[in-house]
Amino acid sequence: MNYSPYKKEFTISTDKRKINIRYVHNFLSNSYWAEGIPIQVVRKAIKNSLCFALYHGRDQVGFARMVTDRATFAYLADVFIDEKFRGHGLSKWLLETIMAHPDLQGLRRIMLATRDAHTLYNKFGFTQLPSVERWMQIHNQDVYKIK
């Protein structure tokens, strides 16, 4: 099911066929969280996620994806708005759209990691982990670095 809300000249779509993978890759490969990510990894991540692409007319200006089983858990990742379109409430609208998506209702847990957008995510109910001692990870920080 493709989901496509619109607001003025902007549209958010979950249709993966419309995603400009090169645009998403260019942004992510220069981001603090996915620096150097190969395009084939971006393609695979998009294929295996519920994606939300933000468009101004036909031009893509933002993106986010949920890694989810659509039953109990989701992880929000790769959220961005093109710098030229920031300051217009688009990130808030993108998050509202994601959180309202029918496949993401009734989940037990939605997680994310951010360095600098806590205020935005707090507005949608995200909080710091209360029991971080329970959580574990395998983190290969240098996985995208050429060896």
Per-residue pLDDT of the chain (147 residues; tens, 9 = 90+): 666 666 788 999 999 999 999 999 999 999 999 999 999 999 999 999 999 999 999 999 999 999 999 999 999 999 999 999 999 999 999 999 999 999 999 999 999 999 999 999 999 999 999 888 899 888 888 888 865
Cβ proximity of 86 and 79 under 8 Å: no
Residues 11/5, Cβ–Cβ less than 8 Å: yes
pTM for this structure? 0.91
**What does the domain layout of the chain look like in residue ranges?**
6-134
- Cα(75)–Cα(5) distance, rounded to whole angstroms? 22
Cβ atoms of 98 and 81 within 8 Å: the answer is: no
- CATH topology assigned to domain 6-134: Aminopeptidase (3.40.630)
